[in-house]
């Protein structure tokens, strides 16, 4: 049986040394705060830039459900995380996925919503469900002494939901309220607009359900979606904590063995992802706004692409934290914003590389110029050796820090399965990051950050900023109520 504490011990030396180096050089961003610092230690030597990735124990139930377990007996707690292919990408009507997940804990054939809440509280546990684009997640956590009760409760809400009408009306009211606020939230508007421009015309475009969409959903719609997508086929169950693998296998088989397989796995829909070759500027007017919200973006690659690792390093150098070029230039030297960053996600399908900041309205034009200047500098000038080394050490150190908890290790393991990554992906991750050269960074910067490819999205006061925006290209004013369909026109 695998003991998490031994796996953690194997990487702690690396983590502590990396932390010292990172804090001395500013290599770890504010979002990657370090742990204990041992003063007087030298920076990390190259031979320490290795991370041993612990492997969870795995087994399958009789219905095919894949289970991943990391034992950790240091604290009397247990956590369950069930991920199913029941996200919004599989919806027949907008809003069904999130409502189905929300309704799991609102009543079963043997418990009302009140009884579920009371039973959860009585064992000091947490229980909840949510849905994202690709999947639905049912999570539970509690004391290990209550493992049997927690499994039984989790199995009940998973296998026997009733979707009571009264509770559905309440859930729909909550979602309608969120929908009403969406168009007044600049971050939400830019998120929807970005998704539409890059994924419009495919199932991957994220269109929040409207009030009309939500009103049209019935309990029968939820039951149909539940029956089709809440199945063990393709689902993953992760468990961490004070458990015994063999005993847990028997308990889960007893509780979930009757969960019927559908006989097929719901795969993500295929789509033709095409990068833009003629960038646009999209402006959402927000009268009276004291600042402009800027989002730059381009369609990049999926996690298995050969360019992915080099782009991770390029992104860190450009704007992956407070030591990034964007932050140091646009905040520290220019004082245009509280923070300027770049982002790049790991996904099974092509992700969007992006950069963002919220700047004072009066400096919108020069701030945009500084972003484009930094994009161009990364393409035209080789990254200095010290800056490249610091970025790579920061990435590897941040990765190691995610492995300090069983949940972090398990999350990486599930990601490896969900995104079809090679079995040794995390074992070799640090080495592959460390192998990225200055030429690699310059190459991917030219490939993904060239001016003609980078779309610009802005939410701000049109009458004050449109003239400045037009210096960087043609401006299309977008009604936040009519975002759907924009992506298919470009």
Summarize pLDDT for 323-340 with one digit per residue, the tens. Answer: 999 999 999 999 999 999
Summarize pLDDT for 338-365 with one digit per residue, the tens. Answer: 999 999 999 999 999 999 999 999 999 9
CATH of residue 107's domain is 3.30.830.10
Q: Are residues 120 and 177 in the same domain?
A: yes
User: Does residue 274 form part of some domain?
Assistant: no
Q: Are residues 245 and 338 in the same domain?
A: no
Q: Are residues 334 and 236 in the same domain?
A: no
Strand-pair category, 352-360 with 281-285: unpaired
Rounded CA gap, 27 and 392, in Å? Answer: 9
- Is pLDDT at 62 greater than 50 in this prediction? yes
Mean pLDDT for the stretch of residues 26-42: 32
| 347 neighbors 303 (Cβ within 8 angstroms) | yes
Q: Are residues 107 and 156 in the same domain?
A: yes
Outline where 183-307 has alpha helix (H): 186-199, 211-216, 219-229, 245-256
Rounded CA gap, 36 and 401, in Å? Answer: 12
pLDDT band at 50 (very low <50, low <70, confident <90, very high): low
Work out whether the CA dihedral 155, 159, 160, 163 comes out positive or negative: positive
DSSP state of 259: S
Rounded CA gap, 313 and 280, in Å? Answer: 26
Q: Are residues 245 and 288 in the same domain?
A: no
Q: Are residues 309 and 391 in the same domain?
A: yes
Longest dimension (CA), the chain: 68
The residue that leads in pLDDT, 106 or 482, is 106
User: Does residue 209 form part of some domain?
Assistant: yes
- Position of tokens 């199932």? 203
Q: Which of 221, 256, 291 is the last residue of a domain?
A: 256
Structural domain of 450? 281-489
Q: Are residues 238 and 333 in the same domain?
A: no
User: Does residue 9 form part of some domain?
Assistant: no
- Per DSSP, the three-state class of 399 is helix
Task: Give the per-residue pLDDT at 45.
Answer: 40
Of the candidates 163, 101, 103, 157, which has an alpha carbon nearest to the alpha carbon of residue 133? 101
Strand-pair category, 66-71 with 126-131: unpaired
Task: Give the per-residue pLDDT at 178.
Answer: 77
User: Does residue 378 form part of some domain?
Assistant: yes
pLDDT above 70 as % of the chain: 89
Q: Are residues 74 and 174 in the same domain?
A: yes
- Is pLDDT at 3 greater than 60 in this prediction? no
Q: Are residues 162 and 104 in the same domain?
A: yes
Task: Give the per-residue pLDDT at 340.
Answer: 98
User: Does residue 443 form part of some domain?
Assistant: yes
Mean pLDDT for the stretch of residues 153-178: 93
Of the candidates 26, 25, 15, which has an alpha carbon nearest to the alpha carbon of residue 49? 15
User: Does residue 261 form part of some domain?
Assistant: no
Domain count, the chain: 2
What average pLDDT is seen over the chain? 88
Helical axes 385-401 vs 4-25, angle rounded to 10°: 150
The residue that leads in pLDDT, 49 or 435, is 435
DSSP state of 473: S
CA distances from 388 to 169, 384, 433, 439 (A): 54, 6, 11, 11
Q: Are residues 290 and 222 in the same domain?
A: no
User: Does residue 33 form part of some domain?
Assistant: no
Q: Are residues 333 and 394 in the same domain?
A: yes
Q: Are residues 396 and 431 in the same domain?
A: yes
Lowest mean pLDDT among 263-267, 304-308, 385-389: 263-267
Rounded CA gap, 343 and 316, in Å? Answer: 8
Task: Give the per-residue pLDDT at 488.
Answer: 61
Q: Which residues contact 220 (CB under 8 A, 6 or more apart)?
A: none
Task: Give the per-residue pLDDT at 487.
Answer: 63
Summarize pLDDT for 75-130 with one digit per residue, the tens. Answer: 999 999 999 999 999 998 999 999 999 999 999 999 999 999 999 999 999 999 99
pTM over 0.95: no
DSSP letters spanning 175-212: HHHHHHHHTT-HHHHHHHHHHHHHHTTSTTS--PPPHH
Task: Give the per-residue pLDDT at 475.
Answer: 95
Task: Give the per-residue pLDDT at 38.
Answer: 28
User: Does residue 44 form part of some domain?
Assistant: no
Residue 151's Cβ-side half-sphere holds a number of Cα atoms within 13 Å equal to: 21
């Amino acid at each position: 049986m695998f003991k998490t504490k031994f796996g953690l011990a194997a990487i702690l030396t690396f983590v502590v040394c990396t932390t010292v180096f990172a804090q001395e050089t500013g290599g770890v961003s504010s979002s990657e705060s370090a742990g204990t610092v041992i003063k007087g230690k030298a920076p990390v030597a190259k031979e320490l830039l290795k991370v041993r990735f612990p492997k969870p124990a795995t087994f399958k139930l009789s219905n095919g459900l894949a289970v991943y377990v990391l034992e950790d007996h240091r604290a009397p707690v247990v956590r369950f995380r069930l991920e199913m292919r029941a996200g919004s990408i599989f919806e027949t009507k907008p809003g069904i996925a999130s409502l189905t997940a929300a309704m799991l804990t609102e009543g079963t054939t043997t418990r009302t919503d009140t009884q579920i809440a009371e039973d959860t509280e009585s064992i000091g546990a947490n229980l909840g469900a949510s849905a994202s684009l690709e999947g639905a997640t049912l999570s539970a956590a509690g004391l290990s002494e209550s493992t049997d009760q927690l499994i039984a409760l989790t199995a009940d809400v998973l296998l026997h939901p009733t979707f009571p009408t009264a509770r559905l009306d309440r859930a729909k009211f909550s979602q309608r309220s969120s929908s009403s606020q969406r168009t007044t939230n600049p971050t939400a508007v830019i998120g929807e607009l970005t998704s539409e421009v890059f994924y419009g015309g495919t199932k991957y475009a994220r269109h929040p359900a409207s009030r009309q969409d939500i009103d049209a959903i019935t309990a029968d719609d939820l039951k149909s979606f539940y029956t089709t997508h809440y199945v063990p086929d393709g689902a993953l169950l992760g468990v961490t904590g004070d458990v015994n693998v063999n005993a847990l296998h028997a308990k889960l088989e007893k509780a979930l063995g009757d969960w019927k397989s559908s006989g097929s796995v719901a795969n993500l829909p295929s789509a033709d992802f095409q990068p833009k070759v003629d960038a646009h500027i999209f402006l959402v007017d927000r009268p009276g706004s004291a600042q402009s919200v800027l989002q730059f973006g381009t369609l990049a690659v999926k996690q298995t692409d050969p360019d992915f690792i080099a782009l991770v390093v390029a992104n860190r150098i450009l704007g992956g934290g407070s030591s990034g070029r964007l932050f140091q230039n646009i905040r520290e030297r220019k004082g245009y914003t509280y923070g300027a960053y770049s982002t790049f996600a790991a996904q099974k399908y092509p992700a969007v590389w992006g950069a963002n900041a919220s700047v004072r309205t009066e400096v919108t034009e020069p701030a945009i110029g500084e972003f484009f200047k930094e994009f161009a500098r990364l393409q035209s000038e080789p990254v200095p050796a010290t800056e490249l080394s610091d970025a790579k050490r920061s990435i590897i150190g941040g990765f190691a820090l995610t492995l300090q908890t069983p949940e972090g290790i398990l999350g990486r393991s599930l990601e490896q399965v969900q995104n079809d990554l090679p079995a040794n992906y995390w074992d070799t991750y640090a080495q592959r990051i460390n192998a990225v050269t200055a030429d690699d960074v310059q190459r991917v910067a030219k490939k993904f950050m060239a001016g003609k490819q980078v779309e610009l999205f802005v939410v701000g006061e049109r009458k004050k900023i449109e003239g400045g925006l037009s210096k960087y290209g043609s401006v299309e004013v977008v009604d936040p109520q009519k975002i759907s369909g924009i992506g298919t026109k470009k």
